[in-house]
Structure 1
Amino acid sequence: MSETVFGAGLRVAIMTDETGWHTARLKKAFRARGVDARCIDLAACRIDTTWQPYGLALPGFGHTLPDAVFVRGIAGGTFEQVTLRLGVLHALRECGVPVYNDARAIERSVDKSMTSFLLHRNGVPTPPTWAGESAAFAQRVLMRETAAGHQVVLKPLFGSQGKGLRRLGASARGDGTLVPLPSLARYQQVAYLQRFVGRSAQARTAREAGPAFDWRVLVIGGRAVAAMRRSGGRGWIHNVARGAHCEPAELDETLAQLAVRATHALGLDYAGVDLIPPPVSSDAPDAPGASPLVLEVNGVAAWRGLQTVTPFDIATALVDDLLDRRLAATIPPTAPMRHASL
């Protein structure tokens, strides 16, 4: 079905807690396909069993539902608030509305511990990770990793843009002093620890000198479509929000396959996959066969930084995948739209 035909007359809800650059790009891409796209805050939606016929009320849609939903942002809040907002997404799926990405996939990607578990379970290379509520266990992990010559990174279980990350291990003074585990109160009494993967000073001199970096790979509809290198920023944290510099990266087969496997492991329609170069041994800095490691998989990924080094319009690629793959598969050619059938 040609793009000029499929899309006209459809209505799509863009779920977001704030409007700006990303939502403007998405709305423009939807308009180019003849789709009426409107932004809705999940906090303004409600489950209402008296609201016929679906028991679900979305601002601007009356008693009807959108033909599809694009999840751009979910505001933080109490456990109950976030649960209800995700519940609305679950309810939309129960009503047969394609949700891109759906609630279950977002839950898996937002929870870093579940992301690590699923990556490991599906054989996707990722750093050793520990998550639990015991500060005593976390301290033992820290001591064991430090004794083995490793550092660990303490991260919020829910978080993004490099906020709240702390690197722990031997003191920077080089005297063997152990940096103690900080209070977990700031981390909601949950310790999520991941082995820090970096290059030793010896390994750095054995290879071409250059700043530390990571990769962001964008996967859409089961295909890796763009990649960039991020370097600089706040020391070892390479998020664009922290001032990292973006440059285009070659999307080789290894990066593409790892990113696609990671996205598939979490059941995401689209994802921003963060990868780091393989650990380098000071004994064999040029040893072949080492694989990059997947750090995180973002199910509500921003792409403003990536767009600056990508020749095609990312919002258009996302919209095309939603309409031509996800939505087209659910609507027979002769079927009326949800809002037109009532």
Structure 2
Amino acid sequence: MAHGGLQSLRVAVMSDESGWHVRRLRRALLARGAALVRCLDLAQCGVATGASRHGLVLPGFGKELPDAVIVRGVATGSFEQVTKRLTVLHALTALGVPVYNEARAIERSVDKAMTSLLLRAAGIASPPAWTTECPAQAQRVVLREAAAGHALVLKPLFGSQGKGLQLVGHVDGRFVPLPSLDAYGGLAYLQRYVPPVSAPGFDWRVLVIGGRAAAAMRRVSSHWVHNVAQGARCEAAELTADLARPAERAAQALGLDYAGVDLIPTPDGPQVLEVNGVAAWQGLQRVTPFDIAQALVDDLLDRKLAAARGRLSA
């Protein structure tokens, strides 16, 4: 798409905070000639079927729809609140607005059980995982895995940034039982722990944009949790085919326009741990030479928006 066709472009950046990421996206959109870039909190958006032809309430856009939407964040809330926020994104897609990433893809990525199922269905190497509401069944999984010498990571099903993770099973030569699941919504999502191959340990974050791996970094930490939010150190990493291929396939399996794919080294090659559909990239930007926000915006405008406009003119 030529830059000249974007002077009237109006874009909504969905985020519950107007921080570093939103500023970078705004700058990149304005650099491409966008006329209006507005940060919207999905908590402030809603449905009013009699107020406009489309039935949505989008502050700052009146009775019109944005030309495109970038989802930077979906704030936590009650089940009902989050459902309403995703309803707004679903409706925008149904109304023909390019949404980057779409609600369906975000739902797949935030649900770790669904991610595990889709990775397995696509034949992508990933640690074995179990999900159950039954504490006795979950404890049997922990006992069976511990007997085989394995530890398991207990994770919140919808968690992020390495928060709420616990090791259970065979941990440092002793047995650690499953704790109460009350803090986990009465649900156990368990993923087999992959021991580090070096000291300190590390994993990789690979950013996939428009179906192609664009950048990679190592997240290094003496702690077994390697999230940057938990203090891991970011290091530049070569984007090898062994990293790019599974990351691209993982993003495709979940239907994501862009994704932060976390991979862990194993003696048999990298395995995909998690796929993030609302991925932060501040740490990655520090060790990446190109402007990530600009690459995301270029992919949205040149691929997704161009395809949407092509369908309208066909």
Q: In structure 2, do the counterparts of structure 1 residues 323 and 139 end up closer, same or farther at CA, with 3 Å as the change threshold?
A: same
Q: Distance in 2 between matches of 1:325 and 1:130?
A: 37
Residue 66 of structure 1: CA displacement? 0.1
* 1:126-158 deviations in Å (ceiling 9; x for gaps): 000000101001100000000001100000001
Q: Distance in 2 between matches of 1:171 and 1:111?
A: 26
Which residue of 1 is the match for residue 221 of structure 2?
232
Which residue of 1 is the match for residue 249 of structure 2?
261
Residue 9 of structure 1: CA displacement? 1.3
Which residue of 2 is the match for residue 248 of structure 1?
236
Which residue of 2 is the match for residue 273 of structure 1?
261
Give the length in aligned residue pairs: 312
Report the AA paired with residue 301 of structure 2: L
Which residue of 1 is the match for residue 146 of structure 2?
146
Which secondary structure state, in structure 2, belongs to the residue aligned with residue 227 of structure 1?
Answer: strand
Which residue of 1 is the match for residue 190 of structure 2?
193
Report the AA paired with residue 324 of structure 1: D
The 5 Å alignment of 1:109-188 reads 109-170=109-170, 172=172, 174=173, 177-188=174-185
User: 4+ residue stretches of structure 1 with deviation over 3 A?
Assistant: 332-335
Report the AA paired with residue 223 of structure 1: R
Instruction: Decide whether the 8 Å contact of 2:161 with 2:229 is kept in 1.
Output: yes
Q: Distance in 1 between matches of 2:171 and 2:187?
A: 23
Which residue of 2 is the match for residue 284 of structure 1?
none
Q: Distance in 2 between matches of 1:191 and 1:291?
A: 27
TM-score, with structure 2 as normaliser = 0.97
Which residue of 2 is the match for residue 32 of structure 1?
31
Report the AA paired with residue 82 of structure 1: V
Q: Distance in 1 between matches of 2:310 and 2:251?
A: 28
* 1:71-104 deviations in Å (ceiling 9; x for gaps): 0001100000000000000011111101100000
Q: Distance in 1 between matches of 2:45 and 2:171?
A: 49
Instruction: Decide whether the 8 Å contact of 2:145 with 2:151 is kept in 1.
Output: yes
Which secondary structure state, in structure 1, belongs to the residue aligned with residue 65 of structure 2?
Answer: coil
Which secondary structure state, in structure 1, belongs to the residue aligned with residue 263 of structure 2?
Answer: strand
Q: Distance in 2 between matches of 1:150 and 1:334?
A: 54
TM-score, with structure 1 as normaliser = 0.89
- In the alignment, structure 1 residue 324 sits paired with structure 2 residue 302: yes
More strand by share: 2
| Aligned-residue identity in percent | 64
More helix by share: 2
Which secondary structure state, in structure 2, belongs to the residue aligned with residue 169 of structure 1?
Answer: strand
Structure 1 or 2, whichever has the larger Rg, is 1
Instruction: Decide whether the 8 Å contact of 2:151 with 2:171 is kept in 1.
Output: no
Q: In structure 2, do the counterparts of structure 1 residues 25 and 170 end up closer, same or farther at CA, with 3 Å as the change threshold?
A: same
Q: Distance in 2 between matches of 1:252 and 1:55?
A: 47
* 1:241-292 deviations in Å (ceiling 9; x for gaps): 11110111010111101000000000000000000001x4xxxxxxxxx221
Q: In structure 2, do the counterparts of structure 1 residues 188 and 304 end up closer, same or farther at CA, with 3 Å as the change threshold?
A: same
Q: In structure 2, do the counterparts of structure 1 residues 328 and 171 end up closer, same or farther at CA, with 3 Å as the change threshold?
A: closer
Which residue of 2 is the match for residue 6 of structure 1?
5
Which residue of 1 is the match for residue 290 of structure 2?
312
Residue 210 of structure 1: CA displacement? 3.9
Q: In structure 2, do the counterparts of structure 1 residues 140 and 96 end up closer, same or farther at CA, with 3 Å as the change threshold?
A: same
Residue 47 of structure 1: CA displacement? 1.0
Q: Distance in 1 between matches of 2:175 and 2:274?
A: 27
Q: Distance in 1 between matches of 2:19 and 2:68?
A: 21
Which secondary structure state, in structure 2, belongs to the residue aligned with residue 170 of structure 1?
Answer: strand
Report the AA paired with residue 312 of structure 1: F
Q: Distance in 2 between matches of 1:122 and 1:111?
A: 17
Q: Distance in 2 between matches of 1:184 and 1:260?
A: 34
* 1:31-67 deviations in Å (ceiling 9; x for gaps): 0011121100011111111022111120000000000
Q: Distance in 1 between matches of 2:72 and 2:5?
A: 23
Instruction: Decide whether the 8 Å contact of 2:167 with 2:176 is kept in 1.
Output: no
Instruction: Decide whether the 8 Å contact of 2:261 with 2:272 is kept in 1.
Output: yes
Report the AA paired with residue 248 of structure 1: A
Report the AA paired with residue 276 of structure 1: I
Report the AA paired with residue 292 of structure 1: P
Which residue of 2 is the match for residue 67 of structure 1?
67
Report the AA paired with residue 177 of structure 2: P
Q: Distance in 2 between matches of 1:37 and 1:257?
A: 34
Which secondary structure state, in structure 1, belongs to the residue aligned with residue 307 of structure 2?
Answer: coil
Q: Distance in 2 between matches of 1:11 and 1:326?
A: 15
Which secondary structure state, in structure 1, belongs to the residue aligned with residue 308 of structure 2?
Answer: coil
